[in-house]
Amino acid sequence: MTTPAPHLLCILDGVGLGRPDEANAVHLARTPHLDRLFATAPWVALAAHGRAVGMPSDADMGNSEVGHNAMGAGRIIDQGAKLVEEALASGQLAAGPAWGAVVGAARSGTLHLIGLLSDGNVHSHIDHTLQLLALAAAAGVPRLRVHALTDGRDVEARSAPRFAAQLEAALAALRAAGVDAAVACGGGRMHITMDRYEADWAMVARGWATHVHGQGRRFASLEQAISTLYAEDPAVDDQWLPAFVIGDFDGIHDGDAVVLTNFRGDRAIELSAAFVAGPGFTAFDRGRCPRVTFAGMMQYDGDRALPPRFLVAPPVIDDTVGARLAAAGLPSLALSETQKFGHVTYFFNGNRSEPLPGEARVELPSDNLPFNQAPRMQAAQITAAAVAGVAAGGHPHIRLNLANGDMVGHTGDLAASIVAVEEVDACVGALEAACRAAGVVLLITADHGNCEEMAQRDKKSGAAQRGPDGALVPSPSHSLNPVPLILVDPTGRWALADPPARALWPTPAPVGSVARIGGTLLQLAGLPVPAGWLPGLLRGLD
C-alpha cells in the first residue's frame, strides 16, 4: 500500500456525451464549470452500456444499477438481463426448484405474472414474460393472468400499445390452445407498484390494491384501457397511467402463485416484501393478504434474502472497491438523495445493503412529486454535505451521486432538464473549489447517458425527430452514449493513462468500460489493482 491520495468520485447520473443540438439538455444548459473543465482538464470517454457493463448486447442501454455495480466491482459482471436470458435459453430456469414450486401451486389455482411490460431491458424484458407464459402452459398451468405495468421511461413515452399488442397476441394463442390466459390489471410504473428505497410506500399500496384486490377502473381489454387513458389526458405518458382492471378480474387468492418478472432489484423489493412478510408488516395496510407461492425473477436483496424464492440466481459481486477500502482501514463516505442513495451504497458495494466497516453514509429525502416540477432536487444539499466532508477530512474516499440528469431526464421535459443540468453544473463548481482547497483529487463521471438525448433520433442520420406539430418527439429513456471521466488533480501527482480527449464532438471513442473507475479508485487509495480487474485510468507522476 502506497500513500493514499484523498479523492472524491462525483457521479453525474444520466449525463452522457452526445450530439450538441436542440435535443441535448447538457449542450443547451449554461454550464460554465463543466465547459471550463472539458476545455482545460484531462478527460476521456467511457462506455456505459451494452457488453461494457455486462448487458446481453450492445443494443442494450446501460442503467444506474449496472453502472454503479461496474464502478464498484472494477470489472464487467454479467447482469440480470443477461443471466435471465441465459437461464431461459438453457432450460436452467424451467428445471429449477423455484419454478417447480410456482407451477406446482398454480396447477390448482392461478399463476399471476406481475412486471414491467417493456423491452427496455433495464428492469425487465417482455420476451421473458412471454417465455414464462409458454413455459407455464407447457407445464399444465390452466389459468394465467398478467399484471402489466406500463413503462414510458426506459422506452418511448407512449409505447405501451406496441407491447400490449405483443402480449395480447401471445395470450390469444394460449387461449386457442385451451389455456385460460388474460390480462388482469395494470397501470403506470411511477403511479403503482415500482417505488424504490421506501421513498413512497403509497405507490406500492396502490399497486397492492390493484394486483391483489382487483381495485381500479375497469376496461374490456388492455388496449382499450391504454387508448382511453391516452385520449382522456393527452399529456399523460405510460409512466403515470392510472391503475386499471381488465374484465372481471377480482384479485389474487389463497393458493395462487405469483411471479414478479422484473429482474432488477431496486424497484422490486417493496412489492416482494409486501407478499412475503408476515403479520408484522406495517408499511401500509394490506387488508386481505392471500397465502400464495411467491417468487421473484431474481433475489432482489441478498442481505435480507428477499424474496426467499427466486427463479434465477443474481450476479455474485464480491471483492469490491468498498471491501478493499474497508480491509485496508480506509474510511469512506457515500452521499446521495433517496432516489440514488441505494446506487452509491447497495449497488456500488456489490448488492450489499449493510454499511461496510468504516463506511459513513448521508441520505437526503427526495421529493415525492414529478421531478420536472422540482428539477433542482436535493443536489445543492448533497453537495454542501460533501463539501463539508472534504473540508473536515477523515475520509480518504468520498463518493456522491447527483441524480438530476437522470430523474428529470426521465420525465421527457427538455426545459426542466436544462434547469437540472445547470444545477448540477453549479454543484460541480462547488465541489471543484472544495477539492482544490483541500488537495483532494476529483473524478467527475456518469453511470450512463440520458439528458443529453431528450428526443428520439433518426437511426441513420442521428437527427432529432419532430412530430407533425413540429415539436421534438420526447425520449425519456437512457441513451447508448458514452460518459466522461474528468480528472481534477490539485496535487499534481496523477495523469491519465490514456491520451486525453480533445473535443466533445464528434464524441470521442471510449477508452474502455466505466468499470475501469474501480481500479482508478484503488490507485488513488494506494492499493494494488487485483488480477481480473480492468486497469485503472491513471498513471502516477511521482
Q: What CATH number is associated with residue 345?
A: 3.40.720.10
pLDDT, position 369: 84
User: Does residue 506 form part of some domain?
Assistant: yes
Q: Between helices 126-138 and 97-106, what is the axis angle to 10°? A: 60
The domain boundary, picked from 290, 312, 334, lies at 312
CA separation for the pair 283, 273 (Å, rounded): 10
Taking phi over 0 as left and psi of -120 to 50 as alpha, with beta for the rest, 351 belongs to left
d(CA 188, CA 453) in angstroms, rounded, equals: 23
Could you tell me if 492 and 418 lie in one domain?
A: yes
Q: Answer whether 46's CB lies under 8 Å from 483's CB.
A: yes
337 with 430, same domain: the answer is yes
Residue 285 belongs to domain spanning: 81-312
How far from chain centre, in Å, is Cα 138?
33
Domain assignment present for residue 228? The answer is yes
Is there a single domain that holds both residue 293 and residue 326?
A: no
What local confidence, expressed as pLDDT, does residue 3 receive? Answer: 86
CATH of the domain at 294: 3.40.1450.10
Q: Note the pLDDT tens digit of each residue in 382-402.
A: 999 999 999 999 999 999 999
Mean pLDDT over 492-519 rounds to 97
Is there a single domain that holds both residue 136 and residue 236? yes
Give the tens place of pLDDT for each residue, 256-276. Answer: 999 999 999 999 999 999 999
Based on the fold, state whether residues 464 and 477 are members of the same structural domain.
yes
Q: Are 335 and 297 found together in one domain? A: no
pLDDT of 1 higher than 70: no
Strand partners, 398: 8, 333
Residue 438 inside a domain? The answer is yes
Q: Looking at the structure, tell me whether residues 301 and 404 fall in a common domain.
A: no
CB-CB neighbours of 374 under 10 Å: 17
Would residue 374 count as lying in a domain?
A: no
Residues identified as active-site: 64
Whether residue 162 is contained in a domain is answered as yes
Judge if 71 and 105 occupy the same domain. Answer: no
Of 252, 287, 312, which residue sits at a domain end? 312
**285 and 404 inside one domain:** no
Residues 289 and 432 in one domain: no
Q: Which one of 292, 312, 332 terminates a domain?
A: 312
Q: Is residue 39 part of a domain?
A: yes
Residue found under cell 402489466? 148
Residue 381 domain-assigned? Answer: no
Q: Assess whether 119 and 195 both reside in one domain.
A: yes
Min mean pLDDT across 203-212, 402-411, 462-471 is at: 462-471
Is the separation of the CB atoms in 245 and 221 below 8 Å? Answer: no
483 is a domain residue: yes
Rounded Cα gap, residues 273 and 255, in angstroms: 18
Q: In whole numbers, what is the pLDDT of the chain averaged over residues?
A: 97
When divided into structural domains, the chain yields a total of: 2
Query: Could you tell me if 324 and 438 lie in one domain?
Result: yes
pLDDT band of 2, cuts 50, 70, 90:
confident
Opening angle at CA 427, ends 379 and 478, nearest 5: 65
Beta bridge partners of 45: 484
